[in-house]
Structure 1
Amino acid sequence: MDTSAFDDLLEANRKFAESFTLSGFDGVAHAGVAIVTCMDSRIDPLGMLGLKPGDAKIFRNPGGRITPQALEALVLGVHLLGVNRILVIPHTRCAMATHTEEQLHEEVGRKAGQDASWQPFGVVEDQVEALRQDLAKVRSHPLVPDSVAVGGFVYDVDTGLLEPIG
Structure 2
Amino acid sequence: MIDTDELVRRNAAFAAGEAFADVPLRSAGALRLIGCVDPRVDPAHVLGLHNTEAVVMRNVGGRVTPEALRSWAMLAKVAQARGAGLPRAGGHLVVLHHTDCGITDLAAFPDLLAEYFEIPAAELPAKAVLDPYTSVRLDVDLMKQALPPGIAVSGLVYDVHTGLIEVVVPPVQPEG
Give the secondary structure class of the aligned counterpart of 2:40. Answer: coil
Structure 2 stretches lacking a partner, 5+ long: 118-127, 170-176
User: Could you say which residue in structure 2 is the equivalent of 1:69?
Assistant: 67
1:76 to 1:86, Cα distance in 2 relative to 1, 3 A: farther
Do the aligned residues in 2 keep the contact of 1:57 with 1:77 (CA within 8 Å)? no
Give the secondary structure class of the aligned counterpart of 1:46. Answer: helix
- Aligned-pair RMSD on alpha carbons? 2.5
* Equivalent residue for 1:43, pick from 41, 44, 47: 41
Residue type of the alignment partner of 2:33: I
Correspondence 1:125 to 2:123 = no
1:21-100 to structure 2, matched below 5 A, reads: 21-76=19-74, 80=79, 82=87, 84-97=91-104, 99-100=105-106
Cα distance in structure 2, aligned partners of 1:73 and 1:100? 23
Please, what TM-score do these two structures have when normalized by structure 2? Answer: 0.71
Cα distance in structure 1, aligned partners of 2:111 and 2:167? 35
Task: Please state how far the C-alpha of 1:131 moved relative to its aligned partner.
Answer: 1.7
Task: Please state how far the C-alpha of 1:100 moved relative to its aligned partner.
Answer: 4.5
Larger relative helix fraction: 2
Please, what TM-score do these two structures have when normalized by structure 1? Answer: 0.75
Give the secondary structure class of the aligned counterpart of 2:46. Answer: helix
Give the secondary structure class of the aligned counterpart of 2:5. Answer: helix
Cα distance in structure 1, aligned partners of 2:74 and 2:168? 25
Correspondence 1:135 to 2:140 = yes
* Equivalent residue for 1:101, pick from 90, 107, 118: 107
Give the secondary structure class of the aligned counterpart of 2:130. Answer: coil
User: Could you say which residue in structure 2 is the equivalent of 1:111?
Assistant: none
User: Could you say which residue in structure 1 is the equivalent of 2:148?
Assistant: 145
CA deviations on 1:42-91 (whole Å, 9 max, x unpaired) are 12312333321011001001111012232234345567365511000011
Report how many aligned residue pairs link the two structures.
146
Structure 1 stretches lacking a partner, 5+ long: 106-116
Cα distance in structure 1, aligned partners of 2:8 and 2:92? 34
Identical residues among aligned pairs (%): 29
